[in-house]
Structure 1
């Protein structure tokens, strides 16, 4: 007879299983169905997933019941099947694995961070119904996972403790930040949950190993609390109508050791992970003795400062088209530099505006701003664009995502930009809302980035999206994004050609970290009749390098670059990051006039140094001071 779950966690690390929903998606089950209903109608498929994770070495198995509550099932007309789905979920998990595995009943949130969308009484009723069913089965514990608010987590935990002394694991969704969604520090939240009877507390979903490691470091001093971690396999990429994840099993193996050193007693995987990820972690932790002596120092950065442009967007100048040259005009004559700064996630714009001024002082040609990149809520780039223009005379370059606005809102947004004299924009698809900080929000996608480019150019002809004539023509310069970090560069260029056919005036690439790839990009795109801006994002640290390489779609670092950044942090890391970026500029500037810097963590001084290097190398200092560019 195996020991009780609490006993085994006091002695060793348990490896949890990986994703259920995304794994089923990879096997052909579409988004938009109830994966929990498969417990009843295709039970053999669910059983097979459990079996694969068990065979990979997982010994903590979650039931396929995450959304098996009345509120969530009602979207599919299944609200009367709560009991049947939950009981079947437990039976499938139990019968598919060996006796040495622990089966925990998975319970997800009702509100999912949307605090006003369901009454508290309805939350309590839905959670109680599911909890009662699961407690009446042969589960070894209950797992409260992907909760955003401490308030809702406490509702569920208190309901369980009123009914049972069963082991309970509580996991918050995190993006590597230091508070819950309802503003409670993670340390305080963990202590509250422990006081209320939680046995294990940790994190899952919303981010890959890097973000969860950062959050875990913030509570590592709570040495009497066993931790659990179930990271995603990086940030999802959306290409040709399919989601995919970048983080490899090898990366998860390395991360598992870091989690273990910080006190994690349960280590598994969430979205995008597979049995291969689990097997790699099992192998890495063989013979591991739990020890908290080694703690990795976290960089003091916010989630807002970590964002990376998802579709590397080209951005241009906001100056009046009939008075000053556009970015396209400039880059045909000389080297041009555009720099991306992330709009803040809060109401403080001080550092952002400081960065804008510093960059304008070194004569960058445009300041680019993403449109809620990674589906994380940020300050309006339209408002910031106008402030940048008015207060510092900088040229704003505004991203527009297909995700956030329907056709009505998109045209309205563009009309506002036109009225403000902001005429350089970048059309991007935008990451799905369910992967951001408000996963209950809707992704609109009325149009693709190709269609948006065409519709913006239609405004330039004086024709509204509806086809009705406008009294005036717009003068937008439209950019398109290009990811060259792919296996088949020729196919990526073919996609790029379609964007140009749709009307794109210039191209901006995702960050490139390999001089040889820069040469390949030049050869593959030199036939295009629009300028290409090469994306360069200086690395801030060794961990930043590993995060970008393993977790962010569209970014790949060379082995040499990763080796050079290994172990470097703080000023030392940023210094080496700038040195690497200068070497990339040495390769890029003879081939491309367009340079696109992405500022990491709002460390704008790095972009200032690199911009000065461009002007020195291009011997353009005198030109930059000429009246033409004032």
Structure 2
């Protein structure tokens, strides 16, 4: 049957007129806030015996330079230098009568930085309002909310929204809520400073804060936030609690944390890379915006913007819709006819595969030899990762061609979104079809910062869901642009899943979207927590999609520690860690890891349709021993 096909380009959202500027910004994509102002002032040799807020009047070039650096780093929201610019805090320096002047000057400096950069309309200015503090004398009888109103009167006309930062007590929160009553149209955010249990020092926590907000008769906050706290790691625990208790967008701004003792030294752990690693976890949990508090610098924000924004853009990016008008649209090849692996999956048979990571050099001899061992052992397929942990290795496509031609065993080729545009990705998929590589696992990919080339840029035109949609179209004979490719490709479409994800709701949703997009089988991250896998299987049972469980045979206690702390999506239970620790020699530890892997397979075999065993550090013999 003949059809025409053309693309419907993605349109800009039709924003509801009732949405304010911050709501629109948060709805578009993950938003990057700036970092600390006070930290940057101190780095410029202004000491704490002076009012940092007054510098907006006396040394405006210093504050303007800080804003410019954050803009250059990629910040999409600048916060004003007004955290302590209320009459009570300024009064300690004899500056209470300059409250309005300092706040207006600070707001104008942030606005000037945005204007000079030509970013008006795309970068927002947030008016920072910190806690009032306690009165210095009995003569200070003004109410907290009246002090806040004075500051808001100066800030509100200039900034895009107000952010009440470091709210630590219900007293501070109540004062902020009372103050906003005087500004019926005010756009504002409430940001809390709590501990890892989402509580303050007096035991009040997110639940009590939420109760006060829900009973407040005035306009609701546009978003709520977490700032300061105990550093990136502590904030992750706070966020896990908060996202389950609110439907409002959440803004996360941790501080740099406390130094840790390491071999007798006190070391600050929050490097720019460390910060962005946790930022990715915040994003995966559903944070709508990420920035920094005390100790977080433009370098941290630059790394955050460079590594996180492309990932989130890929997830939010929608492929252009293809409207079929007249073209030779083909029926897809049935799963059972695509490949031997596809035939076994379609028949409900149990499958096995071994994951072999391609070498860093160009000599494929050992890779081919390992694949030959798999063939002789009766393994169904060899799984080939694509640049795991953002490493530079020989093309897995080249490895797949060599293995299939020289050994005669099928491969499962990973196809990663990180390194190529949709043009290059489609070229690779056509190459796979031409060379008979028909089993493909589509993954989003690790960000470049995890590897040896952190300066490299991730492309991420699409994520794994988008790439599955592209392959599904090609399996019907058309490419992303609606162009005929003459014959449908025969790809068996696989996707990854993480049963131990931090945000299981997100993982479940994305797994459903992958299957809806065309996924025909699922391979999980390495499984150590069996009950977690079973819970995930129960949740996705309605999808009726074959699931192959990943198994990693631990080779040492150090390897177990690495998997537990460094590999995203892998949970190693304490019981497993204890067993590995109890093994004495390296050989005993390797045998313990082997037994754990075998026990895991025995426990899950009846619930899955296959097992994929990784060959740790290229040890194919060990992987095959697991499957015996």
TM-score normalised by length of structure 2? 0.50
TM-score normalised by length of structure 1? 0.50
Q: Which has the larger radius of gyration?
A: 2
